[in-house]
Amino acid sequence: MKSELEQDILKVLITEDQLKARVQELGDAIYDRLEGKNPLFLGVLKGSFVFMADLVRACQLRSNVEFIAVSSYEDATVSSGRAKINYDIQRSVEGRDIVVVEDILDSGNTLSFLCGYLKSRGAASLTVVTLLDKPARREKAITADLAGFTVPDAFVVGYGLDFAQRYRNLPYIGVLKPAVYEKKEP
Ligand code: PRP
């Protein structure tokens, strides 16, 4: 029987096995780029928390882990184009090689803002890693250095990604049934 979360999923887009294999490839690529550099992995909350946990374990570098919370969507399903920091990094990024870890690159507003912020705070280098890339909706001229999967313009959830703060705990990336996000709350 399907779980109460799975009942809302139209189809599985990326399976657990595919995620595991690709995350390891990304971890290997980061290792090759940053060996000997003591990078700081910076997870962008909340969506990146599952990917971040797997990625840092797939990359056995001497490194640090930090988080930042940036919101551009507020409670809307479409980016407002503005971003703000809700929780800041707890250490200096000056002179550090930063690996920015995102779950999805969509309009590009969040990463565009964040990269500018990190540069203004003196980061030595930025390596932008996103699990998912949705180029169809790009508004800012930004590309990731490493991207796990290119996804179509569908409502994707799971493996950290949410709809209305739910579905983050699905172990795979799924497409949400339109009836779920078209439904009006009572
Ligand atoms: C999502 C996602 C990215 C951002 C990408 O975060 O985690 O940070 O949107 O979209 P963009 O390229 O259009 O800026 P969201 O603001 O939904 O918060 P969350 O991570 O807490 O779910």
Burial environment of residue 162 by CB neighbours within 10 A (0 to 12, 13 to 18, 19 or more): middle
pLDDT mean for each 10 residues of the chain (186 residues): 92 98 98 98 98 98 97 59 85 97 95 95 98 94 97 96 97 96 71
Q: Residue 82: its pLDDT value, please?
A: 66
Q: Residue 76: its pLDDT value, please?
A: 55
Catalytic residue among 8, 54, 103, 106: 106
Query: Residue whose CA is closest, atom 16 of ligand 1?
Result: 71
Token reading at 44: 């962008």
Q: Residue 73: its pLDDT value, please?
A: 55
Distances in whole angstroms, Cα of residue 22 to Cα of each of 16, 55, 87, 102: 10, 10, 29, 15
Q: Which residues line ligand 1 (CB under 6 A)?
A: 44-47, 71-73, 79, 102-110, 162
Q: Residue 65: its pLDDT value, please?
A: 98
Q: Tell me if 87 sits within 8 A of 69, measured CB to CB.
A: yes
Residue type, 167: Y
Residue 111 CB contacts under 8 Å (≥ 6 apart), including other chains? 100, 102, 105, 128, 130, 140, 142, 144
Q: Model pTM?
A: 0.93
The Å distance, Cα 116 to ligand 1 centre, comes to 16
Q: Residue 71: its pLDDT value, please?
A: 81
The Å distance, Cα 104 to ligand 1 centre, comes to 7
Annotated active-site residue 106? The verdict is yes
